[in-house]
């Protein structure tokens, strides 16, 4: 015959205490684990600009801006303000002539009011302007030596992004 007896109160109480201690240790470990950071997602904003002709070539040493007044006449010159979180600009020029068009980003703030140019031919990827505004100008003449074309008429596609 089997002699089945009830477990003692000490055994049941000890098992409950052990379970609570183990449970609180697991909860404490879960609370102190580092949370995984969400991956940063690339966001973009695209702007299309039309132009007829380019800007004149002015010397930055004279403190002039290549952009000048050309954008008010529909020519290729723009101040492109970046919105919050945007750090990079990618530009692609599609000229009706079919040739790659020379252009430049202008960075102001040089010594004695001068500007620095960052030239490109046809396109530039992931340009990071030093200020919150990218100043873009297309050349009325082929100012970039290796670039065969000048701005005649066409479209500029500008993509702003938070990541390169």
Residues 88 and 160 sit within 8 Å (Cβ to Cβ): yes
Instruction: Return the domain boundaries, the chain.
Output: 50-161
In this prediction, residue 62 carries a pLDDT of 35
Which of 11-18's residues contact partners 24+ apart within 8 Å by CB, and which partners?
none
Least confident segment among 42-46, 47-51, 97-101, 145-149: 145-149
Q: What is the phi/psi pair of residue 30, to 5°?
A: -65, -35
Q: Give the model's confidence band at 72: pLDDT under 50 very low, under 70 low, under 90 confident, else very high.
A: low
pLDDT of 67 over the 70 cut = no
pLDDT of 12 over the 90 cut = no
Which of 61-68's residues contact partners 24+ apart within 8 Å by CB, and which partners?
61/114, 63/112, 63/113, 63/114, 63/115, 64/115, 65/106, 65/108, 65/115, 65/135, 66/104, 66/106, 66/115, 66/117, 66/137, 66/139, 67/106, 67/135, 67/136, 67/137
pLDDT of 60 over the 50 cut = no
Return the DSSP state at 61: G
The model's pTM? 0.67
pLDDT of 130 over the 70 cut = yes
- Say which residue the tokens 């609370």 belong to: 31
Of 39, 130, 137, nearest to 88 by C-alpha is 130
Distance CA 147, CA 159 (A): 22
Distance CA 85, CA 74 (A): 29
């Amino acid at each position: 015959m089997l002699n089945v007896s009830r477990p003692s109160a000490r055994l049941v109480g000890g098992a409950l205490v052990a379970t609570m201690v183990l449970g609180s240790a697991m909860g404490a470990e879960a609370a102190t684990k580092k949370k995984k950071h969400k991956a940063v997602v690339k966001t973009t904003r695209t702007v299309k600009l039309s132009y007829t002709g380019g800007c004149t070539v002015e010397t930055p040493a004279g403190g002039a801006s290549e952009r000048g007044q050309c954008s008010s006449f529909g020519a290729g010159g723009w101040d492109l303000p970046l919105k919050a979180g945007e750090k990079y600009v990618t530009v692609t020029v599609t000229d009706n002539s079919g040739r790659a068009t020379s252009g430049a980003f202008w960075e102001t703030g040089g010594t004695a009011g001068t500007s620095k140019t960052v030239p490109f031919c046809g396109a530039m990827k992931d340009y990071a302007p030093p200020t919150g505004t990218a100043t873009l100008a297309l050349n009325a003449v082929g100012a970039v030596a290796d670039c065969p074309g000048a701005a005649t008429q066409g479209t500029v596609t500008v993509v702003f992004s938070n990541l390169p």
